[in-house]
Structure 1
Amino acid sequence: MVPQIIVVDDDPIILKKTWNTLTDAGFKVVVFKSGKALLEHVKDNLAPDLILMDINMPEMDGFEVINELQKSKAAWKDTPVIFLTADEDEDTETKGLSLGAMDFIRKPFVASVLVLRVKHAVELIGLQRDLESMVDEKTKENELLFLHVVECLADAIDAKDKYTNGHSGRVADYSKEIAARYGYDEKRQEKIFMMGLLHDVGKIGVPDEVINKPGRLTDEEFACIKKHPAIGGKILSNIKEMPELAAGAKWHHERYDGRGYPEGLAGDDIPEEARIIAVADAYDAMASNRSYRGALPQEKVRSEIEKGKGSQFDPKFADIMLGMIDEDKDYRMRDKPMNEPTN
């Protein structure tokens, strides 16, 4: 694919010479007489490989134009700029580089030198983009591997409780959906999904006979169950690459009114993701079969979440869950991943 170069200069002689030189060298060249003309072009066209731009132009100088490019759509924002200038002032060069310019080419330029500088710049840009692509690909591979390990661990946690198969995955789904509706970007949604998968990891430290007891727990047994958030927080705090994982495990049983455990945090002192997971966890606990009771009717689940607004739950996240329940006319959300239709 032939590299495209855009040249911006108010001097028609420079434009013509640059166009001839770079076209003869095999580049596709588009020229503009002003920064404003370039910014109009940005609105409806694909970004080039490189922009060569004069600094001293009427109406908008090169510095103003590069500032505007930084505010435009991503591809243009990332397009490398080399300034064409007859000014050898050190402050000018410092300012241009600080604004994100890749380099400077002095005018009047020597044709062969211009071609070499542009070729080297385009090659360097291509190498950088290839490297970024390779890094992105490797990062995605690592993220998928990490997610697979997390899912396997979540399955192992759920396997301790024969009544709650799939609980961690459902809580992760509901948490991600609440976060999406609240406005989290995709990256934060993926993080809270993993936090949801691992929110009960501390149950590894709770005896199976306590988790699966069909009747009412004794005070001692309940005290044992209440240890799982702190245990989970401690386990996950060892994952230094994603410290927020520990927050979901440690604080998903805190209450908005401060009467939860393990630390009795209240309101905004509870990490936001943990407040989201708390609502998702409570919904699934009520909507699923448990060792001590069957799944509750949907209207009862809704009533309990409504009643818990401002006391057990952060009201804004409870309201989002209530909206999800109201959309789920046939009470099927508990049986399907969130990306599948519920009716």
Structure 2
Amino acid sequence: MDWIVVVDDDVMNLKMAGKILSRNGMRVTALKSGTALLEYLRGNRPDLILLDIKMPGLDGFATLERLKEQTGSADPLPVIFLTADDSRDSESRGLAMGAMDFIRKPLVPEVLTLRVRHTIDLVRLRRNLAAEVERQSREIQSLSMHVVQTLAAAIDAKDTYTNGHSGRVAEYSREIARRYGYSREAQDEIYMMGLLHDVGKIGVPDAVINKPGRLTEEEFALIRKHPVQGHRILSQITEMPRLSAGARWHHERFDGRGYPDGLAGHDIMEEARIIAVADVYDAMTSNRSYRGILPQSRVREEIVRGRSTQFDPAFADIMLEIIDEDREYRLHEH
């Protein structure tokens, strides 16, 4: 049974949240203040905390800050803020502090239940991934392709609009590598790197990944952290030391204006330069929250425009060759 702690100084809100969640098979503990929560957590560890922002004494932000200090960062408790405030500044501040999501008041039963369950599932997936990585590093010499594909599917599931993205990037990367002359073993390696290039997005809140409008500076800063987060996760797999390269450097640019390290040219690992082209191609040929699939002619123009600036020209040329062969435009999200 999932265990939820609800913190709100309004008794009616506590009763409503408790009734909704209990009716959906969850265990609920109700607390009236941030101070009570911090004390309660000294001997208890629930699955999720629903934390009101505006409370007397410690407000939600101050409570979360102290909670992080009290519990540490190794395995933080997931927090969703409850708020009646539509302020974008409040939302950005909360996400930057590490909140998983926001739920507006008055509470809507269906929304509350779905977001709570989704957040708990995501946290468990993240913990299982960390445990799996540790186990694999300790007990076996390589990851099985089945495990990697499962992880890639879990990553893609965070983004409503990019189902199958990791698999397609892996396929495009392997084909570029094949045409460039990679051995079969090296093709398989870059395929696995492509599957896991976005693994760091596990640490990015769903509300940011699936936001249909323009991201704030704070939200974009969270997105820009995913290469480093992915590198941190995959670098623990010591049996495959190159696996983390695609995760860390697929947003670097050939002209040095990328991130996170601002590398340029051949200082960027070759496999990451391949994945960078494949990643952008799939982004343009997939549906997004803000647009549909781009016409093939427009995609080709963008690859040409990015040649030698965004992309390694050798790999951009191979991608253009693949595009020109795809006369019926079959290579896109279906």
Measured against the shorter chain, the TM-score band is: 0.5 to 0.7
**Which aligned runs of 4 or more in structure 1 are off by greater than 2 angstroms?**
142-145
1:286-305, aligned counterparts within 5 Å?
286-305=284-303
Partner of 1:312: 310
| Higher RCO, Cα 8 Å, sep 6+ | 2
Q: Is 2:286–2:333's contact at 8 Å kept on the other side of the alignment?
A: no
Give the 3-state SS of the residue equivalent to 1:165 in structure 2: coil
Instruction: Give the letter aligned to residue 205 of structure 1.
Output: G
Q: Write the deviation string for residues 120-162 of structure 1: whole angstroms up to 9, x where unpaired.
A: xxxxxxxxxxxxxxxxxxxxxx899611000000000000001
Aligned residue pairs total: 195
Partner of 1:266: 264
- Give the whole-Å Cα distance in 1 for the aligned partners of 2:223 and 2:278: 19
Q: Write the deviation string for residues 94-125 of structure 1: whole angstroms up to 9, x where unpaired.
A: xxxxxxxxxxxxxxxxxxxxxxxxxxxxxxxx
- Give the whole-Å Cα distance in 2 for the aligned partners of 1:287 and 1:335: 6
Q: 2:236 aligns with which of 224, 231, 238?
A: 238
Q: Is 1:213–1:292's contact at 8 Å kept on the other side of the alignment?
A: no
- Give the whole-Å Cα distance in 1 for the aligned partners of 2:307 and 2:213: 28
Q: Which moved more, 1:320-329 or 1:286-295?
A: 286-295
Q: 2:221 aligns with which of 204, 220, 223?
A: 223
Q: Write the deviation string for residues 153-172 of structure 1: whole angstroms up to 9, x where unpaired.
A: 00000000010000000000
Q: Is 1:172–1:195's contact at 8 Å kept on the other side of the alignment?
A: yes
- Give the whole-Å Cα distance in 2 for the aligned partners of 1:296 and 1:256: 24
- Give the whole-Å Cα distance in 2 for the aligned partners of 1:145 and 1:279: 25
Partner of 2:187: 189
1:31-180, aligned counterparts within 5 Å?
146-180=144-178
Give the 3-state SS of the residue equivalent to 1:333 in structure 2: coil
- Give the whole-Å Cα distance in 1 for the aligned partners of 2:333 and 2:222: 30
Partner of 2:201: 203
- Give the whole-Å Cα distance in 2 for the aligned partners of 1:329 and 1:143: 42
TM-score (norm: length of structure 1)? 0.56
Deviation at 1:296, TM superposition (A): 0.8
Q: Is 2:142–2:239's contact at 8 Å kept on the other side of the alignment?
A: no
Instruction: Give the letter aligned to residue 182 of structure 1.
Output: Y
The percent of aligned pairs where both chains have the same amino acid is 71
Partner of 1:325: 323
Q: Which structure 2 segments of 5+ residues have no match?
A: 1-139
Give the 3-state SS of the residue equivalent to 2:161 in structure 1: coil
Q: Write the deviation string for residues 12-46 of structure 1: whole angstroms up to 9, x where unpaired.
A: xxxxxxxxxxxxxxxxxxxxxxxxxxxxxxxxxxx
TM-score (norm: length of structure 2)? 0.57
Matched, 1:254 2:252: yes
Give the 3-state SS of the residue equivalent to 1:334 in structure 2: coil
- Give the whole-Å Cα distance in 2 for the aligned partners of 1:206 and 1:285: 18
- Give the whole-Å Cα distance in 2 for the aligned partners of 1:334 and 1:185: 26
Superposition CA RMSD, Å: 1.4
Q: Is 1:216–1:292's contact at 8 Å kept on the other side of the alignment?
A: no
Instruction: Give the letter aligned to residue 292 of structure 1.
Output: Y
Deviation at 1:335, TM superposition (A): 4.6
Q: Is 1:158–1:167's contact at 8 Å kept on the other side of the alignment?
A: yes
Instruction: Give the letter aligned to residue 160 of structure 2.
Output: K
- Give the whole-Å Cα distance in 2 for the aligned partners of 1:214 and 1:287: 18
Instruction: Report which of the two structures shows the higher radius of gyration computed on alpha carbons.
Output: 1
Deviation at 1:220, TM superposition (A): 1.0
Q: Is 2:287–2:333's contact at 8 Å kept on the other side of the alignment?
A: no
Instruction: Give the letter aligned to residue 264 of structure 2.
Output: A
Q: Which moved more, 1:142-151 or 1:298-307?
A: 142-151
Deviation at 1:197, TM superposition (A): 0.1
Q: Is 2:250–2:276's contact at 8 Å kept on the other side of the alignment?
A: yes
- Give the whole-Å Cα distance in 1 for the aligned partners of 2:305 and 2:148: 33
- Give the whole-Å Cα distance in 2 for the aligned partners of 1:241 and 1:301: 37
Closer, same or farther: CA 234–303 of 1 in aligned 2, 3 Å: same
Q: 2:281 aligns with which of 274, 280, 283?
A: 283
